[in-house]
Amino acid sequence: MLKAALIAFLMALAGSGRPPVTAAPEVVVRVFTLKHRSPEEALVVVRPLLTEGASVVVQAKGNTLTVRDSAAAVERAAKTIAAWDLPPRRIDLTVTLLRASTDSRSRRPGEPDGADQIPGVGERLRKLFRFTEYSRLDAVVVQGVEGQTVAYVLGGGYRLEFQLDPAPDPQQVRLKGLRFERIRRAPGPGVAELRSDILRTTINVAIGQPYILAVGKDEAAAGALILVFNGKLVVPGPGLGGVN
């Protein structure tokens, strides 16, 4: 009997080293009805917040997104969607076009440095690139609403086009399908102008922070074109009805 008690005691000691059994996380299902965005766009925003075992159903007809995942992951998705599914915003986007060079003769005598004319940008440009001279070719203020495509001619010889899109981060605006082209008049009759692509890309611009985009042949080139974007939200005032 003593032997049996000893064996039971040893088995109890061996069992005490086993890890405690933890309950599986609670799985919940939640349906999100989008008011201002599409469920396809919401899927792109929400997917990185979910676990590997999550399932998501997109229903375009009802403009809904159904998420099945752990309670914690679904709560993360809910908070993100609430901050992201907002009415289209009005954006004022200042776009400055600079020509950068390492040749001191590229800037006319007495002409101010174009980089220093943009607050907070001159020093950044000098840290990022080897160029020493910056001439401002043009500056425009692009006004639009998220979802709208805008196009502007810059410096007489360039054209910029993009769609103002909401970014996953509400403190940013996305310039989707950004197209930067060189334009020139056609030599013969019938065609008003010829366009050639310089750059095509998509970028996210943080509201209130300059975004610098350099376009050149390579890092060793003696010159380049610099686009500087600076976005500002337009808050509806007493005389504005807002954006529908």
Lowest pLDDT segment from 16-30, 130-144, 192-206 = 16-30
The pLDDT value recorded for residue 199 is 93
pLDDT at 186 over 70: no
- DSSP strand pairing (133-145 vs 90-101): antiparallel
Burial of 160 (0-12, 13-18, 19+ CB in 10 A): buried
Q: Between 216 and 45, whose confidence is greater?
A: 45
Examine the pLDDT at 88 and tell me if it is beyond 70.
yes
pLDDT value, residue 178: 96
Query: What proportion of the chain, given as a percentage, has pLDDT over 90?
Result: 48
Q: Which segments of the chain are extended strands (E)? A: 27-33, 55-59, 64-70, 90-101, 133-145, 149-154, 158-166, 172-185, 193-206, 211-215, 223-234
Gap between the Cα atoms of 52 and 47, Å rounded: 10
Sorted by where each starts, the structural domains of the chain and their CATH numbers stand as 26-86 (3.30.1370.120), 90-234 (no CATH)
Range from 11-25, 26-40, 177-191 carrying the lowest mean pLDDT:
11-25
Judged against a pLDDT cut of 60, whether residue 78 lies above it is answered with yes
Least confident of 30-34, 201-205, 222-226: 222-226
d(CA 11, CA 140): 80
Residues 6+ apart with CB under 8 A from 34: 42, 63, 64, 65, 81, 85
pLDDT at 223: 85
The model's pLDDT over 19-51, given as tens digits with 9 standing for 90+, comes to 555 556 789 999 999 998 899 989 988 999 999
Q: pLDDT tens for residues 45-73? A: 899 999 999 999 999 989 999 999 999 99
Residue in the structure block whose two tokens are 């060793």? 220
pLDDT at 239: 44
What pLDDT does 6 receive?
A: 46
Mean per-residue pLDDT, 115-123: 81
